[in-house]
Structure formats: structure tokens, C-alpha cells
Amino acid sequence: MDDSINYLLRGVQQEDRIALSRAITLVESKHPSHQKQAEELLEAILPKTGNSFRLGITGVPGVGKSTFIDAFGSYLTALGKKVAVLSIDPSSTRTKGSILGDKTRMERLSRNPSAFVRPSPSANQLGGVAQKTRESILLCEAAGYDVVIVETVGVGQSETAVHDMVDFFLLLMLSGGGDELQGIKRGIMEMADMILINKVDGENMKAGARAKKEYKRAVHLFPENEKGWNIPVETVSSTESRGLSTCWNHMTVYLEKVQGNGYLEKSRSEQTLAWFREALRQKLEQDFYEKYGANGEINRIIDAIRNGSLSIRSAISNLLKE
Amino acid sequence: MDDSINYLLRGVQQEDRIALSRAITLVESKHPSHQKQAEELLEAILPKTGNSFRLGITGVPGVGKSTFIDAFGSYLTALGKKVAVLSIDPSSTRTKGSILGDKTRMERLSRNPSAFVRPSPSANQLGGVAQKTRESILLCEAAGYDVVIVETVGVGQSETAVHDMVDFFLLLMLSGGGDELQGIKRGIMEMADMILINKVDGENMKAGARAKKEYKRAVHLFPENEKGWNIPVETVSSTESRGLSTCWNHMTVYLEKVQGNGYLEKSRSEQTLAWFREALRQKLEQDFYEKYGANGEINRIIDAIRNGSLSIRSAISNLLKE
């Protein structure tokens, strides 16, 4: 292990935020020499990982994810917790996420010494982003963070990716007003471990209470989940910091339950395995293109496929015969 | 090419539904010898493909997809079109799709000599299902079908898969009543080439008109799409067969437009390329597991990953070093 990695490793273990930030940058880098270093670093911190509560947060744009995380994260630090915030942004080509930087988005939390707010990784393939985010979770854990929040940014396919890397998946919703547009797929609702109706303050109090009732009824109709957990539905005001303790209470009850019945361990083990398979898939593909992309073979085949003179099956069986 | 493939090829080209059905079964088979035959068959029909209008249809369970396809397909056959209906069912482990067979679900169309209704493929990995469905589209085209409808069954990630294999993506919605639950992600709405509010009949007429207005307003706010197509919003009654001609009119206008401006050709070429990349990815993974799965190497590595003694990055670089 070279000196610079040793330095990063010590820094992360000493809970130094700048070292943590640089470690995440290293893990995100695509440069081959950085990748080798990242591998060493990740292997070295492995024994120090796994001790955080991994919390995923999703919701449509405008639901107030950043404001909620700012308030909830500050609440947790006041309880003595160290809180890290990562975000995952597949940067869908169809719809862009927030154009504001994360620092601006979570003002209180960014200035909090017990918190670490990491700006979104730049545009990339979803799979790749998810891998880096998983590794960033591990780095935050090695740096002693008690709660690692992973937020979905933008609209896209990131909900499933986040769900598959966290212990608890929180869905933020709004009450009333243009429900067709705030629509979240039922599949996403069924993934949630808690539904939180945000912005229930001021003129929204009545609509919030009504929405809570409706979602409770809806949730009641969901098929039973394997963890035997009844999905709580609560209202919250992020701007007035109301409802945050109720929210955290549900999470601690959940955590005790899944730690007690072995579900947490089982679930994390399955997540890790799926992560391995995905990473392997990406590496195999990358190696293949590096090997065959150089001599133009693939481009010739792609041209033949495009002009309709070669079927996909034949193309692949020809390519892999060699 | 052996006799049985020759027989299937002739059958498909003579527009024989039984041969078409058997050809699709061959394509879906995972048996190695069948895969070789399927490759030959697909290569042989390639010049006869590409001449259908590929129509994807999605919407939440209960929106009436089958009833709509039954009505719309029957309308198209009355215009002299040959209509094929395929469905894609990733069989999400979280939520199951319809438990009724497709034959029962589309009663009129199934008995129609100008129509071909193919039951859903059995549970499988989504990627695999999507590949087979793409190949089934080609077979239907070789068998002379003018419109090939691909329907999403169940809830899951299949919308994007279907969107990426069709020329026109139709989203069915309901008017009023529990909009939070019928919620479709905004990203899906933005993928749609037309939004159709179904079940606008009887007591639903007023709510349907209101929903139409709301969706029109919503659609108006979407970012402009690259094809320069304004997404129509219409109401339809599948049980009363009302609104079907308006729906078809929009599609023919669309088709003329994208054929004229080159978008259709470009889009299909991109779809084919993405399909090739996905198929290659799957094949690489499959070959890898076949090669290393046998000697238990992978299982040893998986155990080490699971008990936290090996990082994913190290696991993969060790595996691929050999």
C-alpha cells in the first residue's frame, strides 16, 4: 500500500472529513491507477464497515427531500449522531434533477461539524453510480458515521438502486394538489418502509391529515412483506421541524426488530451478493469492449446489425466464437 | 438448416399462426440446441422484418389494458390490419400481474382470425424476457402482422424495456378516484407518445373530461421531446368501443411524421444497438458463470464476500486475473 493510500486510510479512520471526501473522490475515479488504489483502500476499511443505519430517501422532485434531510439530519446530530448524506443521480437524459449544488440545498447540515454532505456524483451510467455510492457508504461507516442517508436525485430508475443498498427506505409524499403529477408508482410505494407526508404546515394541515388517512388505507391493502413490518404513515413539517422524533422512533423500532429477527443480516448479505454480481457484469463488459473495441471488429458488427444484414444472435455467437 | 427449422420458416412466412407460435416457443427456449436453431431461424427471417407498427401499451393494473387491446385490436382488424399481441411480464417478486391467462383476458381478439394473441412468457429475468419479446416482434413481422402490440403486464421495471423496443408508447390512465394509487411516475408519462384516459363511459364521463383537461395541462409543461411531437391526450371507452378511431388517427399521423423526418429509422437503429449491447452483456455473464461456476471458485468467493472478509473490488480483480 503506497503512502497516499495509507494517509487516506488513517484520515478516514480518524474521522477526518477532508480525507473522507478525498477517499470518495478516489473511489469515483475511473483512472486505472486510482482504481487499484481504491481497491486497496476499500479492502483495508472493510473490517470497520457495517455499523451505520443506512437510510434511503426518495420522492418526486418538489416533495422537499433536501429540506427534509436538512431538518432530519440536524435533529439526529442534536441526538449525538454523526450523519452522512450521499446522493445518487443517474442523470436521466429525459429529465434533469436539481440544478442547485447540494451545499446550497442543505444549508444547516452542511455547516454542522457532525455531518458530512457529499455533492452528487457527476453524470454517469446508473449501474456505475450505484456501485460508487455503495462504496461511499462503506467509507462513511469507516469514518464513524452513525446514520448514512442516501437520497435519490432526479427522476429515473434510481429508486430500486437505492432501495437495494439501504436498511430502511423512506418515501416522501405531498398531500393533495396535483396528485396525478406527484404520482409514485405503486411498486415504489410497496418498497417503502415508511411513508412521510412532507410540508404539512400552515394551510396544508387539513390536507395533510386527509392524505395520511388515505395513504394509511392504501398501505393497508398492500401484500404483507416478508419482514412482518407494518408501514407507518406520518406527517412532517421540515421547515418547522415537526414530526421528526416520531419519524426517528419508527426507525429505531424497525432497526431493533430486524436486528432481532435476523432480517437485517440476511438482507445485507443478499444486497452484497447482488452488488457483486452487478459489478462483475460491468467489469466483464468493460473488459470485452477494451479487448475487441480496438481492432474495429465490434464496429464492423455494429454496422452490419444497424443496416439489417446481421441478426443480434448471430452477431454475438460470431463474436464469442473467437 | 435442419428440416424442422425450414418447416417453421416456411410456416411463419406463410403466415401460419401455429408455426408462428411454435417459432416463438423456440426463441424462448433456453435449451442450447434450441438456441442454435433459433439463431438460424432469426437470421433467415431478418429480411422480412421491420414492416410493422410497433405499439407499446402500459398503465397500472386495473386501468383496463387487456380490455382496451381487445377493443382496439378488433377495431384495427376491421380496418383490414393484421394484429399481434405480445406481453412482457418481468414477474416482479414484489407484485404479481394478472393471474388470468391472456386468452381469457382478450376474448374477442383471441377468436379473430386476423389476430395473434400470445400468452405471457413465464417468470424470468427481465432482461431475458425483453430479448425474447424483441425477437418475437421480428417473428410476428415476418408472419405479416401490420401492428404488433407489446403490453406490459404486472408492475415493475418493464415500462422502459417496452418503450425501448417500440415505435409508439401509449400510456393508459384512469380519471379521478384514488389518483395517488394509480400514480405513474412522471418519467413514464414523459416517455409516452399519447395518453389515453380509459373507462370514460357511464358515470365516468364528467370525470373523464376533467382528467383530460388536467393531463393536457400537465403534458404541456413537459420538456420538448426530440421528435417534435405534441403528446395527445384523449378519452376512450373500451367497453363501448368509443374513441378508438381518434386514437388510431393520432398514431397514423405520428407514423407519417417520424417516417418523413427520419426519426423512425434513427430510433430503430439505436434500439437495435442497445439491444445488441444488452444481449452481449448477458451472454458474457452467462459464459463466465458456466466457466467458473463448475469448480466452486465462485462459491468460495461469494462466501468470503458474505462474511465480510473480502471486498467486492478485490473479489472481482482476483476472479478476472486468471
Q: Is B39 on the interface with A (CB under 8 A)?
A: yes
Q: Which residue of B has its CA nearest to A270?
A: B306
Provide the grid cell at B90: 418481468
Does the beta-carbon distance from A190 to B95 stay under 8 Å? yes
Closest partner CB to B275 (pick from A156, A157, A312): A312
How far, in Å, CA of A155 to CA of A248, rounded?
Answer: 26
Q: Is A314 on the interface with B (CB under 8 A)?
A: yes
Greater pLDDT, B129 or A58: A58
Question: Is residue A10 exposed (0-12), middle (13-18) or buried (19+ Cβ within 10 Å)?
Answer: exposed
| Contact assessment for residue B205 and residue B240, using Cβ atoms and an 8 Å cutoff | no
pLDDT of residue A242: 95
How far, in Å, CA of B31 to CA of A25, rounded?
Answer: 45
Query: pLDDT band at A153, cuts 50/70/90?
Result: confident
pLDDT of residue B178: 41
If contacts are CB pairs under 8 Å, which of residues 215-254 in chain B contact chain A?
Answer: 215, 218, 223
Question: What angle do the packed helices B17-28 and B3-13 form, to 10 degrees?
Answer: 130
Would you give the DSSP letter of residue B204?
G
pLDDT of residue B112: 95
Half-sphere exposure of A142 (CA within 13 A, CB side): 25
Strand order in the sheet with B83-88: B115-117, B83-88, B147-152, B53-58, B168-173, B194-197, B233-235
Does the beta-carbon distance from B276 to A315 stay under 8 Å? yes
Q: What is the largest CA-CA distance in chain A?
A: 68
If contacts are CB pairs under 8 Å, which of residues 44-73 in chain B contact chain A?
Answer: 46-47, 49-50, 60-61
- Chain A CB contacts of B61 under 8 Å are 186
Provide the grid cell at A89: 443521480
A126 has pLDDT over 80: no
How far, in Å, CA of A160 to CA of A78, rounded?
Answer: 31
Selected for mutation to probe chain B from A48, A93, A185 (highest B CB count within 10 Å) is A185
First to last CA, chain A: 38
B278 has pLDDT over 50: yes
Q: Which residue of B has its CA nearest to A211?
A: B180
- Tens-place pLDDT, residues B2-40: 888 999 999 999 999 999 999 999 998 888 889 889 999
What are the C-alpha distances in Å from B216 to residues A125, B176, B177, B208, B228? 32, 15, 18, 12, 16
* DSSP letters for A241-269: TBSHHHHHHHHHHHHHHHHHSSHHHHHHH
Question: Apex CA A195: angle with CA A194 and CA A200, to 5°?
Answer: 135
Closest partner CB to A313 (pick from B38, B218, B320): B38
How far, in Å, CA of B164 to CA of B176, rounded?
Answer: 29
If contacts are CB pairs under 8 Å, which of residues 154-173 in chain A contact chain B?
Answer: 155-157, 160, 173
Does the beta-carbon distance from B46 to A308 stay under 8 Å? yes
Backbone conformation region of residue B91, classed left if phi is above 0, alpha if psi is from -120 to 50, else beta = left
- Tens-place pLDDT, residues B89-119: 765 433 344 444 444 678 899 999 999 999 7
Among A27-31, A90-94, A267-271, B145-149, the range scoring the smallest mean pLDDT is: A90-94
Mean predicted confidence (pLDDT) in A164-186 = 73
Query: pLDDT band at B183, cuts 50/70/90?
Result: low
The shortest C-alpha distance from A43 to chain B (Å) reads: 5
What does pLDDT average to over chain A? 85
Greater pLDDT, A104 or A231: A231
Rg (CA), chain A: 22
The shortest C-alpha distance from B109 to chain A (Å) reads: 29
Does the beta-carbon distance from A313 to B215 stay under 8 Å? no
Does the beta-carbon distance from B190 to A280 stay under 8 Å? no
Burial B229-240 (b: 16+ CB within 10 A, else e): bebbbbbbbbee
Mean predicted confidence (pLDDT) in A57-74 = 91
Q: Is A210 on the interface with B (CB under 8 A)?
A: no
What backbone phi and psi angles, to 5 degrees, belong to B249?
A: -60, -45
- Tens-place pLDDT, residues A230-262: 999 999 999 999 999 999 999 999 999 999 999
Does the beta-carbon distance from B155 to A187 stay under 8 Å? yes
What is the length of chain A?
322
Choose the most confident range, by mean pLDDT, from B72-86, B150-164, B177-191: B72-86
Does the beta-carbon distance from A39 to B218 stay under 8 Å? no
How far, in Å, CA of B73 to CA of B129, rounded?
Answer: 23
Backbone conformation region of residue A74, classed left if phi is above 0, alpha if psi is from -120 to 50, else beta = alpha
What does pLDDT average to over chain B? 85
- Chain A CB contacts of B152 under 8 Å are none
Selected for mutation to probe chain B from A313, A316, A319 (highest B CB count within 10 Å) is A313
pLDDT of residue A142: 97
Please name the residues in contact with B79: beta carbons below 8 A apart, sequence gap of 6 or more.
B248
Does the beta-carbon distance from B316 to A187 stay under 8 Å? no
Greater pLDDT, B319 or A42: A42
pLDDT of residue A179: 44
Q: Is B289 on the interface with A (CB under 8 A)?
A: no
How far, in Å, CA of A125 to CA of A156, rounded?
Answer: 12
Greater pLDDT, B90 or A74: A74
Cβ-Cβ contacts under 8 Å between A and B: the total is 177
How far, in Å, CA of B253 to CA of A109, rounded?
Answer: 52
Mean predicted confidence (pLDDT) in A163-188 = 74
| Contact assessment for residue B210 and residue B176, using Cβ atoms and an 8 Å cutoff | yes
Does the beta-carbon distance from A43 to B308 stay under 8 Å? no
- Does this model's pTM top 0.80? My answer is no
Provide the grid cell at A248: 426517528
Does the beta-carbon distance from A288 to B287 stay under 8 Å? no
Provide the grid cell at B109: 381478439
- Chain B CB contacts of A265 under 8 Å are none
Pairing of the two strands B83-88 and B147-152? parallel
- Residue A58 carries which side chain, given as an amino acid letter? T
B156 has pLDDT over 80: no
Question: What angle do the packed helices B297-306 and B263-293 form, to 10 degrees?
Answer: 100
Does the beta-carbon distance from A288 to B280 stay under 8 Å? yes
The ipTM estimated for the assembled molecules is 0.77
Does the beta-carbon distance from A92 to B187 stay under 8 Å? yes
